[in-house]
Amino acid sequence: MKKPLEIPANGVILKGDLNVPEGPRGLIIFSHGSGSSRLSPRNRFVAGTLVANRFATLLFDLLTPEEDLDYEQRFDIELLTKRLIGVTRWIRRQPDYSKGDIGFFGASTGAASAIRAAASIGPEIIKAVVSRGGRPDMAMNALTKVESPTLLLVGGLDTEVIKLNQQAYEAMHCSKELTVIPGASHLFEEPGKLEQVTHHANKWFLKYLYESQQDINKEPESSTRPPT
């Protein structure tokens, strides 16, 4: 099911695209980078792979078209975080997602808003975070507060961003992983590199968003059952 949305968040209406496969394993909300939108071809490629692996995805515009004309607002991480939190709360009020588990996928500056929003909302709802070529240094004051398992994906040619992600990784106390994809630049435009991003993201969401909940929901084994 593909559905266009108009989402009320903090006094504005944001356009979004919801894609729900049959029997979804959870919902991944995307937070795009500066100068981008819900139509980002790279994020949509990742989202398509996640949908194929039975994750629902929500891509939405963090800014209205008028706001996006203001260059400074593209880098207003506090504003972008409020928007992401607002959209997350809105989707949680919808009947189909009132109890569903959620993951965040943040790209570039969008990763900073995803990390800050995850720290604010908490691990009871935000089960996992993935950052693609992210700028977690722009969320430095929130890094120690993040409890959701977080995967940092960085291109091997993106040397400055590698350093920033290493600093963020060291500051975080949650379950975490820093993966450098050899031969990839900041946008992962090289052949096969974005496919590697989707591979790592899917594994992370399977482990922390889907499989961990399956373990929690399992019925306890009977004491009369032989050990396996």
pLDDT at residue 227 is higher than 60: no
State how far Cα 18 lies from the chain centre.
Answer: 14
The pLDDT value given to residue 212: 66
The pLDDT value given to residue 1: 81
Kindly report, residue by residue over 113-135, the tens digit of the pLDDT: 999 999 999 999 999 999 999 99
The pLDDT value given to residue 225: 36
pLDDT tier at 159, thresholds 50, 70, 90: very high
Percent of the chain with pLDDT over 90: 73
Give the mean model confidence (pLDDT) for residues 176-186: 97
For residue 5, which amino acid is it?
A: L
Q: In the chain, what is the straight-line distance between the N-terminal and C-terminal CA atoms, in Å? A: 40
Kindly report, residue by residue over 195-211, the tens digit of the pLDDT: 999 999 999 999 999 87
Higher-confidence residue of 20 and 100: namely 20
| Cβ pair 133, 108 in contact under 8 A | yes
Higher-confidence residue of 218 and 76: namely 76
What structural domains does the chain harbor? 2-217 (3.40.50.1820)
Average pLDDT in the chain: 89
Kindly report, residue by residue over 62-80, the tens digit of the pLDDT: 888 888 777 777 888 999 9
pTM, rounded to two decimals: 0.90
Give the mean model confidence (pLDDT) for residues 29-41: 85
The pLDDT value given to residue 66: 85
SS3 at position 15: strand
The pLDDT value given to residue 215: 54
Q: Give the separation between CA 95 and CA 170, rounded to whole angstroms.
A: 39
pLDDT tier at 223, thresholds 50, 70, 90: very low
Each as own residue / partner, the long-range contacts of residues 96-100 (CB below 8 Å, 24 or more positions apart, any chain) are 96/20, 97/27, 100/24, 100/26, 100/27
The pLDDT value given to residue 220: 37
Burial (CB < 10 A; 0-12, 13-18, 19+), residue 159, is: exposed
For residue 119, which amino acid is it?
A: A
| Cβ pair 17, 60 in contact under 8 A | yes
The pLDDT value given to residue 95: 82
